[in-house]
A and B are shown apart, each in its own frame.
Chain A
């Protein structure tokens, strides 16, 4: 956890000030328009159906959600808040199978009508059991839900099929906007192109590809918030434009993340006018060998690929040019379930001595009969940060154990198609990115291909699947941690099915006058902007 808060002293000071909002030296100022930049062009406004951050960044501020991470403590992986509730996030009843939420009765939609438990039921029904012709991208997260009911206007009850620790994190996902039932009843597709919620800001105008504008919701239910008069976001995909916009003051902040070099350049140019917040990112960039192709069907070859990668050195160098930094295993670094440095360094490929690793890699390759100068194709995604940068680094790493690598780069669409459907690759770049940190579910990436839809290495390993199930059934953190270590050793060492390279690192350099916002380990989280204010 320490790592997450590094370089955040300033932001923390701000958050403390928010905690004692009245009479503090750093009282929030009201007014101003927050100008920010979104490196995307959102497909539609409907959070229930989209999966890109491009829908969250512009639209999260117009909606309430049932549960979210604590905006004053977004680095935490367990600190949830229920804003719409009377009181806290409810505890499970009925042997862990029932969650009853008590809803406040002073919440209003932007059109003045009251938000009731009926609206929440209608919204979650649409997510959990979408009607025909309606798309829900996160239906699969709610497989444990049996039924949703709203006995009265202020009560909503979720009944589960079985107790599950994954339920609350699933509800807390930022895409679960609360829509108005009356509008959904009229047209299930209403929210794709229109915006009408109960969030801190009210929608003004959206020009696709150009900008989106919002203004303050004067009737917001959390009294005093939001502080801003409005927001104005510009859509611009190109990284260099993003950096220049911050530098030239066309925007104050971008909520996705910047490469380290851009942070340094901006710091040099803007000095005190810039604040930098950084955090580990719940995304790991990994290498997936195709275990059905020769010679990658041989665990020794896969282990050699891993051994050739100088992760500790790469962490030092790559963190200067790419949005990756921390060396980690299968679990988000810093989470209690993650391996410690000592535990990690026992796994081949994570050894502290790279010379020894490379010698071992060469030995393994020789033993497996892979000749010196063996050539294979590395499949990569046509996105600079961090895919192509890390790709160039990886090729250079493999070159040093005598492997010759040709890179095949594809735009995102064909890249996905190759990785998931056609599976015609030797070795591919792969990634595991999640919003809410929830390692027990997140490591499903490493299950057998026939079990997990997101596992691309084309292997079947029942031992791995068995450990996963055991871990998820166990309620004891100590035992969970023990199984997790065995799971990690099996996936990364014995079988070397998948090779995590480095975890992403989120860097947000923003104008110092933007206050109140705190970084989280995911670019999907903490974006309703209610507690953000401008010091100008």
Chain B
């Protein structure tokens, strides 16, 4: 087992290194740089000399090798460096947004679990009935509806309905306050994006619950239990559901990792100051250091979530370790 874990851990290194090379090169292939962005705004009259001064300050006049070594060496020491755009430490910039992204991800996950497991179970038990069809249609719709559009529709719906009922339109707050400071304010802001992303999320989890449960229900031990005359309820709860949970937990874990770095479009729609918005802005500003750091954070979260899932599987099923 330890051998397996060590082997898997070692394999993480080339993945991270590959991602680092990829993001480093891609960013430098995009035409334009941060000094163009910063000084070419409408309010400046800038000559080449000033641009060069700017490039020297930002450190992008150095050779590619030096820049890459700086980047990797920083990453190895867990030092993410300084954002080129704001001059603030990147750990501070990310820290500011992390809380919000984490909370939305947790809220979406909770709602996904609460919705998906009962729905998926009912759907599997009542396979090929109208209940099953309804649940399946509902969950496929969740995957089909773009969550950013759902967000637009939610905001629109809120404005129109509150206008209709109370005469004054109401929209969710656009300024983040931590939940311990002002729970009402916090929830009334984050509930809506959590719904918009949670629907998709629960749809994915519902489908996974249904299909793994269906497989498990055909396994021998379930048949044995049935043959023994155990109550269907007991079979489902004690035996089937427990064994079907593993892939479901996997999906939930991977979706969670995805949400931490992937709320790019939904955060735009709700103006959430989260990691996704930071990401878009960093790319937009040609902020190399910040974009690199964000990519590495997202990739690391993703890789390690996968790693944990794999190790978990290997721990449960020894055959995997040797394959």
Contact = CB atoms under 8 A, between A and B. Distances in A.
B86 A43 contact: yes
A371 B40 CA distance: 37
User: Which 6 residue pairs of A and B lie closest in terms of their CB atoms, listed nearest first?
Assistant: A51-B44, A51-B41, A417-B32, A413-B32, A248-B171, A433-B42
A140 B50 CA distance: 9
Contacts of A9: none
Contacts of B175: 210-211, 234, 250
Given A244-B171, A245-B174, A416-B37, 10 more contacts: A43-B85, A44-B87, A51-B39, A138-B44, A139-B47, A173-B43, A416-B36, A416-B40, A422-B31, A524-B43
A209 B281 contact: yes
A395 interface: no
Contacts of B179: none
A53 interface: yes
A50 B40 CA distance: 9
B7 to A, nearest CB: 41
- Main SS at interface, chain B: loop
Contacts of A415: 32
B258 interface: no
Interface string A230-250: 000011111001001101111
Contacts of A51: 38-44, 46
Interface in B1-54: 30-33, 36-47, 50, 53-54
A192 B54 CA distance: 14
Chain B's interface size range is 35 or more
Interface of B: 30-33, 36-47, 50, 53-54, 56-57, 85-88, 93, 96-97, 155, 159, 163, 168-171, 173-176, 268-271, 273, 277-278, 281, 284-286
Interface in A377-431: 411-418, 420-422, 431
A241 B271 contact: yes
A249 B174 CA distance: 11
A277 interface: no
30 contacts: A43-B86, A51-B38, A51-B40, A51-B44, A52-B42, A53-B41, A53-B42, A53-B43, A135-B39, A137-B45, A173-B43, A193-B88, A207-B273, A208-B93, A210-B96, A236-B271, A237-B281, A241-B271, A244-B155, A247-B169, A250-B175, A413-B32, A413-B33, A413-B286, A414-B32, A415-B32, A421-B36, A435-B42, A453-B47, A454-B45
B130 to A, nearest CB: 40
Contacts of A238: 268-269, 271
Given A135-B50, A248-B169, A248-B171, A435 B273 contact: no
B297 to A, nearest CB: 16
Contacts of B32: 413-417, 421
A6 to B, nearest CB: 24
Given A137-B50, A209-B273, A210-B96, A52 B41 contact: yes
A417 B45 contact: no
A422 B32 CA distance: 10
Interface string A26-58: 000000000000000111100000111100100
B171 A250 contact: yes
Nearest to A524: B43
Contacts of B278: 209
B286 A50 contact: no
A411 B291 CA distance: 16
B41 A241 contact: no
B38 A420 contact: no
Contact of A434 (B37, B42, B47, B268): B42
A138 B88 CA distance: 24
A458 interface: no
A434 B45 CA distance: 10
Contacts of B268: 238
Given A135-B57, A137-B50, A241-B271, A413 B42 contact: no
Contacts of B36: 413, 416-417, 420-421
A133 interface: yes
A253 to B, nearest CB: 15
A414 B96 contact: no
A133 B36 CA distance: 17
A238 B96 CA distance: 20
Given A247-B171, A413-B33, A209 B159 contact: no
A38 B42 CA distance: 16
B169 A417 contact: no
A51 B40 CA distance: 7
Given A207-B96, A411-B284, A50 B41 contact: yes
A175 interface: yes
A136 interface: yes
A136 B50 contact: yes
